[in-house]
Structure 1
Amino acid sequence: MVKPSIFSKDYEKQMKRRKRRIVFIGCLSIIIIVFAVMSVKGIFEEVRKDMTKNLTTTDKKDVKTIDPKNSEKEEPKKTETKENGKDKKPEGYDIHLSDGKTITAVYEVKDNNKLFKEIAPAENNVSYSMSPSKQSMVVFDNKVQSIILIDVNGNKQDVTNPQYTSTSGTVISKDSQLSSQPDYIWCSSPKFIDEDNIAYISQLPWLGKTTKYIWIENLKDKSHILVQGIEGEDITLGDLTDKGVTVTSDGRTVFLDASGNISE
């Protein structure tokens, strides 16, 4: 702003106007500065609030709630059931069935002794039975009607009766009978009665009847004996008890011991 000349006749008026302008500009500048400061302060306050909110949210996500009562407890570790991404195979002996499936006779070790436990996988629904000592197991191969005996050392043998000799002396082989009559029950559902004997269901000694009977096989000498006094259209072999193996024949339940004796 140009200062007026002292030689001007309007010097006094010009000086007054100049002072008013200076005061006005000064006040305006102060107002502008105040507004500018307030605006900047408001912006920083908003930024601060946003930052505080974000930090608080992040902290809540990262911080885990600790229960003072359980602060020293750890979550139980899961038992490893897989090996290299695959289901861990149980200890046992593989048995290849005639339908192409492979099952495992699973055993466990107790006091340095192997004891049979089960057949795996269970969903194959294979009929089997373990001896009282769990040192032996019989498995039924349904497709070819074969009874497979296996011991805890992995030794396997087919103990199915290969042929039947009638009272007249006629010899009937298992293979020829099943070939001519596939639905015929040569043997089924083997069950241990004791360590040396198993019971099984069969339509023998008749070929033209649907009646079922119980036979006992001695695993040592491979002899097969027909049980007298048990026959029926619907026969099942159940659990082994102190009286012997449970037999249900057409609704009647009895117990069969290794000698062929029947009790109720």
Structure 2
Amino acid sequence: MGKPSIFSRDYEKIMRRRRINMILFILLIISIIYFFGDKFFNINFLKGIKFGNQNEKKSSSLVKKDLKNDYKTENSVNIIKYKKEDGSFIQIYVDKDKIVDIKDPSGNTNFDISDDKTFVVFDDIKSGKIIMFDTVNFTEISKDYYRSPKLGKIFYRKDILKSNPNYIWAAKPYILSDKKVIFISQLPYFKKNSQLYLWILDLKTKNSKRISSLSIKDVNSVEYIPYSEGLKIKIENNIYVLKKGSYRLIK
């Protein structure tokens, strides 16, 4: 194709078309080299540059995703609050259907978490209650009455606490390995200075039984010590053993 005359009426139009055709031709050559040139030339360095940018974007995305997952993990613990009779609150920490901790700012709550962390028992001494929480529901496992076999009479907790607000109806629970809970109470006697007794409650049957007198009047004088054959109970300076399946303390 000859060079058009500059005096031609279509000179500018022809030159513009040639420039466009030249650009399209160059782009076509580059595309052919990029997609098919690796059969004849080593052009991995070109692809490496582009792929490197893509990898960098992917890495950034992964970092953000990891940080997001860490954030979720840190905030996966739910804090469940329970209001006690005295108006204070205890906080129960639940992580993925497992109870990991329980806190009472006042320090007046005795509690025990099951070995599989599926439930916890704690006392509300002011109300005379022992509560069980299974990550969903709060359930009172202590009874609100006591039936005296000798007198053939029923004594209600609300009446006893009304006449004696400091009476220990049920306190300091501990979960045994056979799904039973022991606790401390002044039952079956109602004198103001009556001593404490050790009771055991079956979570399946809901029946409770008095085990032994502790010959003390202070709940804080009792300490539970895990033991392979049952449970050791330290009462002041004395240590007793409650073997598995037994209802008798052995010194």
5 Å-filtered alignment, 1:71-150, equals: 90-109=77-96, 114-120=97-103, 122-125=104-107, 126-150=109-133
Q: 2:225 matched to which residue of 1?
A: 239
More divergent stretch after superposition (136-145 vs 90-99): 90-99
Equivalents in 2 of 1:221, 1:238: separation in Å?
A: 24
1:249 and 2:231 aligned = no
Shift of 1:157: 0.6
Q: CA deviation at 1:225?
A: 0.2
- Tell me which residue corresponds to 1:178: 161
Q: Distance in 2 between matches of 1:179 and 1:135?
A: 35
- Within a 5 Å distance, the mapping from 1:210-229 to structure 2 comes to 210-228=194-212
Asked if structure 1 preserves the Cα contact closer than 8 Å seen for 2:126 and 2:165, the reply is no
Give the number of the structure whose alpha-carbon radius of gyration is greater.
Answer: 1
The answer (yes or no) to whether the contact 1:233–1:250 under 8 Å persists in 2 is: no
Tell me, what secondary structure is at the counterpart of 1:175? helix
What is the CA-CA distance between 1:217 and the residue it aligns to? 0.8
| Counterpart in the other structure of 1:158 | 140
Q: 1:231 deviation in Å?
A: 3.7
The corresponding residue for 2:53 is: none
Contact 2:195/2:215 (<8 A) preserved: yes
Pair 89,145 (structure 1): closer, same or farther in 2 beyond 3 Å: farther
CA–CA separation in structure 1 for the residues paired with 2:147 and 2:175: 24
Q: Which amino acid aligns with 2:230?
A: G
**1:200 counterpart (180, 183, 187):** 183
Q: Return the offset for 1:177.
A: 0.6
SS at match of 1:123: coil
Distance (Å, rounded) in 1 between the aligned partners of 2:153 and 2:198: 21
- Unpaired stretches in structure 2, ≥5 consecutive residues: 1-66
Query: What runs of 5+ residues in structure 1 fail to find an aligned partner?
Result: 1-78
**Contact residue 233 and residue 239 of structure 2 kept, 8 A:** yes
Deviation at 1:189, TM superposition (A): 0.8
Aligned residues: 175
What is the alpha-carbon distance in structure 2 between the residues aligned to residue 172 and residue 231 of structure 1?
Answer: 23
Normalised to the residue count of structure 2, the TM-score between the two structures is 0.61
**Residues in 2 aligned to 1:178 and 1:226: alpha-carbon distance in whole angstroms:** 20
The letter of the residue matching 1:123 is P
Task: Summarize the Cα distance change of 1:188–1:212 in structure 2 as closer, same or farther, 3 Å threshold.
Answer: same
Report deviation, 1:230: 4.3
Q: Normalization by structure 1: what TM-score?
A: 0.58
AA matched with 1:99: D
Contact 1:133 1:195 survives alignment (8 Å): no
Q: What do you get for the CA RMSD once the two structures are aligned?
A: 2.7
